[in-house]
Amino acid sequence: MFEFREEPGEGTGAVAAAPLTVLSVDDDQAFQQSLRLALSDFRFNDSPLRLLTASSAAEAEALLADHPDVSAILLDVVMETDDAGLRLVRAVREQLGNSEVRIVLVTGQPGMAPMQQTLEQLDISDYWLKTDLYRERLRGIVTGTLRTWREIRALGRAKRGLQQIVQAGRQLAGLRDLGEFSRHVLLELAELLEVPPDGLLCVRVDQRDAPPASARLVGAAGRFAPLAMRPLQDIDDPMIRDLLLEALTRRTAIGTPSSQVLFFDGGGLAPQAAVYLATERSLDEEEHELLRVFATHANAGLVSVDLAARLDQVAYQDGLLGIPNGNALQRELELVLAEPHPRERSLLVVDLDQYTHVSLALGPEQGDLLLKDMARRLHQVYPPPCLVARLHEGTFGVLGPSAALAVDPVAALEQGDGEHVLPFLGVDAVRVDLDEYRGAARGAVAAGLTLLRKLRAGGAHGLVEYRAEAEAENRARFLESRALYQAVREDRITIELQPQVSLEDGAIVGAEVLARWNEDGVPVPPARFIPIAEASGLIVPLGQRVIEQACGALRAMAQAGFPDVPVSVNVSPLQLRRREFAEELVELLGRHGIAPHRLEIEITEGAVMSDYQAGREMLARLRRLGFPIAVDDFGTGYSSLRYVHSLPVTRLKLDRHFTAEIGAGGAESSVADMIIALGRRLDLGVVAEGVETRSQAEWLRTHGCSCGQGYLFARPEPLEAFIARLRAAPLAG
């Protein structure tokens, strides 16, 4: 797997090995001199010897601190003091923490020999009398000592190297990004070989038969850093480029006296990779062994990075368009929203309504072409750093600097650039200023989509801006709908009754039943909670409870001696739309023993008109069953006058705005006049709502309106108060 190559052009022959350093510490100058002579042409294997000398323990300590590469020390035991030598050994082992350097003690006095125990403790290799050290023996001792040193150092290095590799392997396996991965490989490799991080990682993205020359550089360190992400061909140095190419082509690692090239085969799954590392020296056998282990780990890391990248692609890319998808946009949004204000970033949600129609009418291929065109155009209008993502169907999201997103997508897209498959029609968009937006990332896209739906539901078209207040209002409504749900479930919705009075004689002729909700003792106005109930569907169970309580009220009134006074209930179109509504109503009245003519159904004019056909059928059915039906808020919907004759209704309730206009003078009172006349012509009763003054009541009476409801007569009140009022009132005549 590894092969070694000599530097081209430098000729053959042995490469000079690095010298080995030996330190002699002795205050005896004569001994130092003879030592130098004895070792003058000494070589260990191929390495020459460098001899350092010190004449005191203090001097030696300073030298050792500067030269951690000293392999062996020949040390005189007795110098400044009797134990100066042993103290130095302690300093080397314990303070300098150098456990690899070999130490040979020498002494002139046989009596000064240290104890065997001390020798072992301090890891002293040998102990010699100077008189025994003739030339050949000295050279033998140095050779043996250096051999031991080399073995110990190799063991230490292998151990450290393996620890490093295990650690690096663990880290590499956790990386998900190829760029980051390659940076780590280079750094770890440099550290392992104790060389400066000066290298390149190149990857051959294996599109099967793509030539190795098409590989690109994904990582670069040191002097190569500017080459990151460039093609392999951009390396100026032909030697480095060729080495990388050769490693990729021959699928092998290559060593030279100044560099090392590793090869990773990617396990046959991931792309193949090669690393070039400038070592400026040749590596020894142990280092090659370490590199083999390292390569295995790095290869596993490469496979996992590649797998992560491919998973990423599946999870974060739109399959059809090859652009980021909703998840990717979400991920970016999270990063942006984690930043402090001002973020100066915006989100656009752009929808091409036409997509669905085109797909249905012209086939899915045409729909796909339209989408591709849309993506291309969006990239054009919002170039990087804007992120264009497809969310679903014809809906796209664009995230980018607010300044770039100031361009109106509706105008830009519908105008086109003349290269379209089809012209873009029906583009709608919502812009969310992310400095304005408060909430989680998921909510931002959802808020955009909701606004888009609202825009469409309202029949509008174009670009709308997201407003935080609208969002806050939505949130408040959501919280209220939950509280209302609880209230309905716990049966805390009550009713009040507001009398309807004959304008002729002041007799009470009926009452309107109105829903009431107190939350924490505070009344919530129906104008607030009824729309929420309508929007959430809660109006159905709520309305049901109101009708049940109205039946209870009718029974109580009958028991109190007023069996003929009817009441009206407000019924929402959502209630009417349920097929079983009429049956349930009949069943309920039967249970309470109440005749249908005593329960008037009030339905707002707008509601009847918007759901014209279905609503009319249900009304007709209720009418046939004997229920009186009133059109509430009459006059506020413009179509009413034209259609009212065909509706199966019995009464019109003049909206209180028209009542309010009475007495204010001017031509406005003619609306009330007209409605009263219409009622008379169609033989429908008319009730005037919101009668607050005597003059209004008087005007209504003289214009032929026989019935009124309003604060002038009574405010809505609980059942007991209403029954008391019935008892006190003049009898209907």
Active site (catalytic) residues:
689
State both tokens at 732: 């209907």
Judged by CB under 5 A, the chain residues 661 through 680 that form the site for Ca ion are none
Judged by CB under 6 A, the chain residues 646 through 675 that form the site for ligand C2E are 656
State both tokens at 674: 């007209």
**Listed ranges 217-225, 255-263, 355-363, 539-547: which one lies at the site for ligand C2E (CB under 6 A):** 539-547
Supply the minimum distance, in Å, between the C-beta of residue 608 and ligand C2E: 13
**663, interface contact from Ca ion, ligand C2E, none, CB < 5-8 Å by kind:** none
Judged by CB under 5 A, the chain residues 458 through 497 that form the site for Ca ion are none
Judged by CB under 5 A, the chain residues 422 through 451 that form the site for Ca ion are none
Residue 656, number of CB atoms within 10 A of its CB: 16
Distances (CA, A) of 523 to 472, 483, 484, 506: 22, 13, 12, 30
Residue type, 451: L
Query: Rounded to whole angstroms, how far apart are CA atoms 249 and 228?
Result: 21
Residue type, 91: A
Smallest CA-to-CA distance from 336 within 434, 433, 405, 430 is with 434
Contact predicate 518/492, CB 8 Å = yes
- Is residue 306 at the binding interface for Ca ion, with CB under 5 A as the rule? no
- Is residue 635 at the binding interface for ligand C2E, with CB under 6 A as the rule? no
Select 484 or 511, whichever has its Cβ closest to Ca ion: 511
Taking phi first (over 0 means left), then psi (-120 to 50 degrees means alpha), and beta for anything else, what does residue 282 get?
A: beta
**530, interface contact from ligand C2E, Ca ion, none, CB < 5-8 Å by kind:** ligand C2E
**Listed ranges 92-100, 400-408, 551-559, 687-695: which one lies at the site for ligand C2E (CB under 6 A):** 687-695
Residue 152, number of CB atoms within 10 A of its CB: 17
- Is residue 537 at the binding interface for ligand C2E, with CB under 6 A as the rule? no
Query: Rounded to whole angstroms, how far apart are CA atoms 18 and 679?
Result: 116
**DSSP alpha helices (H): ranges in 251-363?**
285-316, 326-338, 354-362
Supply the minimum distance, in Å, between the C-beta of residue 546 and ligand C2E: 4
**596, interface contact from Ca ion, ligand C2E, none, CB < 5-8 Å by kind:** none
Which residues are 54's β-sheet partners? 25
Smallest CA-to-CA distance from 622 within 637, 603, 640, 638 is with 603
Select 433 or 602, whichever has its Cβ closest to Ca ion: 602
**Listed ranges 266-274, 459-467, 594-602, 637-645: which one lies at the site for Ca ion (CB under 5 A):** 594-602
Smallest CA-to-CA distance from 239 within 222, 254, 218 is with 254
Supply the minimum distance, in Å, between the C-beta of residue 573 and ligand C2E: 9
Residue type, 256: T
Beta carbons within 8 Å of 166's beta carbon, 6+ residues apart: 297
Select 353 or 689, whichever has its Cβ closest to Ca ion: 689
Supply the minimum distance, in Å, between the C-beta of residue 499 and ligand C2E: 10
The contact mask relative to ligand C2E for 580-619 (x = CB under 6 A, - = no) is ----------------------------------------
**Listed ranges 138-146, 222-230, 390-398, 688-696: which one lies at the site for ligand C2E (CB under 6 A):** 688-696
Supply the minimum distance, in Å, between the C-beta of residue 615 and ligand C2E: 14
Residue 543, number of CB atoms within 10 A of its CB: 23
Select 39 or 547, whichever has its Cβ closest to ligand C2E: 547
Contact predicate 367/355, CB 8 Å = yes
User: Which of 710, 722, 723, 726 forms a contact with ligand C2E (CB under 6 A)?
Assistant: 710
Select 373 or 632, whichever has its Cβ closest to ligand C2E: 632
User: Which of 24, 53, 182, 498 forms a contact with ligand C2E (CB under 6 A)?
Assistant: 498
- What are the strands of the beta sheet with 259-264, ordered from one edge? 2-4, 253-256, 259-264, 272-278, 199-204, 216-221
Select 348 or 691, whichever has its Cβ closest to ligand C2E: 691
Select 318 or 633, whichever has its Cβ closest to ligand C2E: 633
The three-state secondary structure class of 429 is strand
- Is residue 21 at the binding interface for Ca ion, with CB under 5 A as the rule? no
What is the size of the binding site for ligand C2E (CB under 6 A)? 22
User: Which of 306, 471, 480, 602 forms a contact with Ca ion (CB under 5 A)?
Assistant: 602
- DSSP for 656-711 reads HHHHHHTTS-STTHHHHHHHHHHHHHTT-EEEE----SHHHHHHHHHTT--EE-ST
Give the single-character DSSP code of 92. I
User: Which of 306, 480, 496, 632 forms a contact with Ca ion (CB under 5 A)?
Assistant: 632
Alpha carbon 139 to chain centroid, angstroms: 71
Smallest CA-to-CA distance from 601 within 590, 624, 721, 659 is with 624
Smallest CA-to-CA distance from 570 within 630, 503, 645 is with 630
**Listed ranges 421-429, 452-460, 554-562, 689-697: which one lies at the site for ligand C2E (CB under 6 A):** 689-697
Smallest CA-to-CA distance from 636 within 616, 654, 612, 662 is with 654
User: Which of 134, 478, 612, 711 forms a contact with ligand C2E (CB under 6 A)?
Assistant: 711
Supply the minimum distance, in Å, between the C-beta of residue 716 and ligand C2E: 5
**354, interface contact from Ca ion, ligand C2E, none, CB < 5-8 Å by kind:** none
The contact mask relative to ligand C2E for 439-478 (x = CB under 6 A, - = no) is ----------------------------------------
Give the single-character DSSP code of 23. E
User: Which of 26, 100, 373, 633 forms a contact with Ca ion (CB under 5 A)?
Assistant: 633
**498, interface contact from ligand C2E, Ca ion, none, CB < 5-8 Å by kind:** ligand C2E
The contact mask relative to ligand C2E for 542-571 (x = CB under 6 A, - = no) is -x--x-----------------------x-
Beta carbons within 8 Å of 578's beta carbon, 6+ residues apart: 540
Q: Which residues bind Ca ion (CB under 5 A)?
A: 570, 602, 632-633, 689
Q: Which residues bind ligand C2E (CB under 6 A)?
A: 498, 514-515, 525-527, 530, 539, 543, 546, 570, 572, 632-633, 656, 689-692, 710-711, 716
